[in-house]
Amino acid sequence: MLPLNATIVRIDEESPSVRTFFFDFQFETMKPGQFVMVWVRGVDEVPMGLSSKNSITVQKVGEATSKLFELKEGNSFGLRGPFGKGFSLPSEGEKTLVIAGGVGAAPLAPYAEAARSAGSEVHTVLGARSADDLLFEKFFAETGEISISTDDGSKGTKGFVTDVLNSLDLSVYDKIAVCGPEIMMASVFRLLEDRKVLERSEFSLHRYFKCGIGVCGACCIDKSGLRVCRDGPVFSGVQLLNSELGKYTRDASGRRVKI
Ligand SMILES: Cc1cc2nc3c(=O)[nH]c(=O)nc-3n(C[C@H](O)[C@H](O)[C@H](O)COP(=O)(O)OP(=O)(O)OC[C@H]3O[C@@H](n4cnc5c(N)ncnc54)[C@H](O)[C@@H]3O)c2cc1C
């Protein structure tokens, strides 16, 4: 598949290190949780979750994302996709818990919206380092109830999303969707397992991708060998039992890197 040329039509500054880039066409069939391969010309091609039908929300961490941050309205990048398996939607009347940490909020914003449109009551637990780093707070508040945690206590509960989850009765939720830094997702995973609600959960994983279409095997996870790009990036909690989640990831050469 050749990349489509996406021209930037708007850039929103979400936080000091995160921007949303809106482009000039929509992926009409996209399912929340699916990703696109973003070709930053002359630098690299990197995976990004879709934060809406026509946007990606990017955290500046390295070479490709820094180059994206240099782009202005009218500039363009290439896009292949959407790829992968998204989050499964609740049925009408079911209750949904969305657990988002940092830039992990990006694919969960369209999910919360779609869950509400499907007739589900949505509760979002949104975590970030500080109040300035909270993503899509207003958007999540418009889709239902919201609880906030910040590491430094500048807004909501001081601590992690798990500190908020500790005070909730998790048995009332039919669907639990999680995306965030892997350390956070591993803590949430253990908590959901302890509370015996893991089978209702889905997690979106970040791994190093080369092809993005299930051919190269760079993103296979232990022990199942499931490919994050094709079989995921969204996996059920049960699929991730006894997996590498929270333990290690792999770099471009396939070497294990401790999380
Ligand atoms: C399915 C999927 C969806 C993603 N969605 C988003 C998204 O919506 N928004 C977003 O900002 N990012 C997202 N990412 C992560 C994004 O692909 C990486 O941050 C990006 O590849 C970094 O490229 P870079 O060249 O800027 O950084 P590099 O120069 O490659 O790396 C710079 C530093 O960032 C670290 N890093 C690189 N990749 C990751 C990662 N995946 N997680 C944590 N640290 C990393 C490296 O270890 C290094 O320390 C997603 C990844 C996957 C697999």
Q: Is the CB of 46 under 6 A from ligand 1?
A: yes
Mean pLDDT of the chain: 97
Query: Is 204 domain-assigned?
Result: no
Q: Is the CB of 232 under 6 A from ligand 1?
A: no
pLDDT at 2 over 90: no
Residue nearest to atom 44 of ligand 1 (CA): 61
The number of the ligand 1 atom at minimal distance from the alpha carbon of 67 is: 26
Q: Kindly state the average pLDDT of the residues 119-145.
A: 97
Q: How far is the CA of 63 from the centre of ligand 1 (A)?
A: 10
d(CA 130, CA 208): 27
Contact between 31 and 82 (Cβ < 8 Å)? yes
Q: What value, to the nearest 5°, has the Cα angle with vertex 110 and ends 109 and 111?
A: 90
Q: Is the CB of 183 under 6 A from ligand 1?
A: no
Which H, E and C letters describe the chain, residue by residue?
CCCEEEEEEEEEEEECCEEEEEECCCCCCCCCCCEEEEEECCCEEEEEEEEECCEEEEECCCHHHHHHHHCCCCCEEEEEEEECECCCCCCCCCEEEEEEEHHHHHHHHHHHHHHHHCCCEEEEEEEECCHHHCCCHHHHHHHEEEEEEECCCCCCEECCHHHHHCCCCHHHCCEEEEECCHHHHHHHHHHHHHCCCHHHEEEECCCCCCCCCCCCCCCECCCCCCECCCCCEEEECHHHCCCCCCCEEECCCCCEEEC
Amino acid 1: pLDDT? 79
Residue nearest to atom 14 of ligand 1 (CA): 48
Query: Is 184 domain-assigned?
Result: no
Half-sphere exposure (CA, 13 Å, Cβ side) for 153? 1
Cβ atoms < 10 Å from Cβ of 250: 17
Query: Is 214 domain-assigned?
Result: no
Q: Which domain holds residue 59?
A: 4-83
* Residue where the block lists tokens 């909730």: 168
Pocket test for ligand 1, best of 206, 208, 209, 231 (most atoms within 8 A of CB): 206
CATH number at residue 64: 2.40.30.10
Query: Is 175 domain-assigned?
Result: no
Contact between 84 and 35 (Cβ < 8 Å)? yes
Residue 220 annotated as binding site: no
Residue 211 annotated as binding site: yes
d(CA 228, CA 204): 9
Q: Percent of the chain having pLDDT more than 70?
A: 100
Amino acid 10: pLDDT? 98
Number of separate domains in the chain: 1
Burial class (CB in 10 A: 0-12, 13-18, 19+), 3: middle
Reported as a pLDDT band with limits 50, 70 and 90, residue 155 is: very high
Q: Kindly state the average pLDDT of the residues 151-157.
A: 97
Query: Is 77 domain-assigned?
Result: yes
pLDDT at 188 over 90: yes
Q: Is the CB of 233 under 6 A from ligand 1?
A: yes
Residue nearest to atom 30 of ligand 1 (CA): 62
Residue 219 annotated as binding site: yes
Residue-wise pLDDT tens digits, 41-77 = 999 999 999 999 999 999 999 999 999 999 999 999 9
Q: Which two tokens stand for residue 132?
A: 């300035």
End-to-end CA distance of the chain: 33
Reported as a pLDDT band with limits 50, 70 and 90, residue 129 is: very high
Chain centre distance of CA 181:
9
Query: Is 245 domain-assigned?
Result: no
Amino acid 70: pLDDT? 97
Reported as a pLDDT band with limits 50, 70 and 90, residue 151 is: very high
Q: How far is the CA of 228 from the centre of ligand 1 (A)?
A: 14
Q: Is the CB of 119 under 6 A from ligand 1?
A: no
Query: Is 169 domain-assigned?
Result: no
pTM across the whole model: 0.95
Residue-wise pLDDT tens digits, 18-33 = 999 999 999 999 999 9
Query: Is 194 domain-assigned?
Result: no
